[in-house]
A = this chain, B = another copy of it.
Amino acid sequence: MEFTAQQIADFLKGEIVGNAAVCVSGFAKIEEATPGTLTFLSNKKYIHYLYTTEASIILVNQSFETTEPVKATLIKVPDAYAALASLLTLVAQYLNPKKSGIEQPVYISQSAKIPEKDIYIGAFAYIGENVQIGDNAQLYPQVYIGDNVQIGDNCILYAGVKIYSGTKIGNNCIIHAGAVIGSDGFGFAPDGEKYNKIPQIGIVEIKDRVEIGANVTIDRATMGKTSIHEGVKLDNLIHVAHNVEIGENTVMAAQVGIAGSSKVGRHCMLGGQVGISGHIQIGDNVQVGAQAGVPNSLKPNTVLLGTPAMDAKGFAKSSAVFKNLPDLQRDVTRMKQEIEQLKKSK
């Protein structure tokens, strides 16, 4: 499919600067763009690429003024990044048109409440007793929904997602393939050297607009609930233990692990492979860098790195010295001798 700059500007309600007839058939990053692609300029760091890129069309912010001639056709829009996102959404819908209908075979319990239209249930999906599913759900093949699960409107569960019994999921959630929601929390009572299982009778509750990555695991609570609040975004292979609470609009990169009963605040960012100990509280707007290990509660608005996690700038400085520790030790050893020398020769 090809589109002209004119067609795209019309769709975006943007203003054309340059050749309105030029055609594009794909997207590219501004630094890698080839002729026939559309790109965008949003981050000021990339302005210099505007004058060298091979892209045929560039989306720019309305306020942007060029300082040199530009080869490409510009389309000026209120927000270049948002305009790009709306084009991408259009293409995504074209590439993966919304599925509908119920494929066969599926297993749907008689007591399950499924909307009669606007639903997709892929083959080999399993829907247990008393399940309630909202309008417009897309359940891909081989999804498993245990008994008494509630799922809101407009949710997408990709292939092979497993939802244990009793889980509650809000509206507009996306859960990627292989994710497991509601498995037993890791709770055992020591009995000599043995461990006896503590039954995990709580649930997982996921609020609206949450996205959960592939092969993530979120355990049910021992009692009460494990809570994932509105707007949380979890990347792949993350582990969330029993009774954890994750605040609104917090995002976590892949392979993060949160131990039992910890509370993570609102609007936090955790880097990849971060570990959070159990029974602690992470304040709002906290940022923890990749691979950091957090053993203690953290105040809001802090930025941390390292294991045990410390102030990120301090970690960078200490790490620089760490590299030179052998030299530092050598210096100290020599200075000791020199001091002894000085003491003797006094």
List B contacts of A255 (CB < 8 A).
239, 255, 257, 275
Task: Place the interface of chain A in its size category.
Answer: 35 or more
- Min C-beta distance of A328 to chain B, whole Å: 6
| B91, A199: Cβ atoms closer than 8 Å | yes
* A70 interface contact, C-beta 8 A: no
| B257, A277: Cβ atoms closer than 8 Å | no
| A178, B178: Cβ atoms closer than 8 Å | yes
Given A91-B201, A323-B314, decide whether A180 and B183 contact each other with a Cβ distance below 8 A.
Answer: no
- Min C-beta distance of A58 to chain B, whole Å: 15
- Min C-beta distance of A259 to chain B, whole Å: 6
| A308, B314: Cβ atoms closer than 8 Å | no
List B contacts of A176 (CB < 8 A).
180, 183-184
Candidate in A209, A318, A338 with the most chain B CB atoms within 10 angstroms: A318
List B contacts of A14 (CB < 8 A).
none
CB-based nearest B residue for A89: B199
Chain B binder among A4-12, A47-55, A130-138, A185-193: A185-193
Which of these, B233, B266, B322, B345, contacts A318 with CB under 8 Å?
B322
Chain B binder among A17-25, A110-118, A329-337: A329-337
| B27, A201: Cβ atoms closer than 8 Å | yes
In the assembled complex, the Cα of A217 lies from the Cα of B162 at a distance in Å of 16
Given A213-B217, A291-B275, A342-B346, decide whether A253 and B186 contact each other with a Cβ distance below 8 A.
Answer: yes
| A177, B186: Cβ atoms closer than 8 Å | no
* A121 interface contact, C-beta 8 A: no
* A1 interface contact, C-beta 8 A: no
List B contacts of A91 (CB < 8 A).
199, 201
- Residues of A166-200 at the interface with B, using a CB-CB cut-off of 8 Å, are 166, 174, 176-178, 180, 183-184, 186, 188-189, 193-200
In the assembled complex, the Cα of A319 lies from the Cα of B141 at a distance in Å of 49
CB-based nearest B residue for A248: B193
* A205 interface contact, C-beta 8 A: no
CB-based nearest B residue for A272: B257
Question: Can you give 9 contacting A-B residue pairs, CB < 8 Å?
Answer: A82-B189, A126-B142, A144-B160, A177-B183, A194-B231, A195-B251, A214-B217, A318-B324, A335-B339
New contact pairs (5) apart from A186-B235, A193-B248, A328-B328, CB-CB < 8 Å: A82-B189, A142-B142, A254-B259, A318-B324, A331-B332
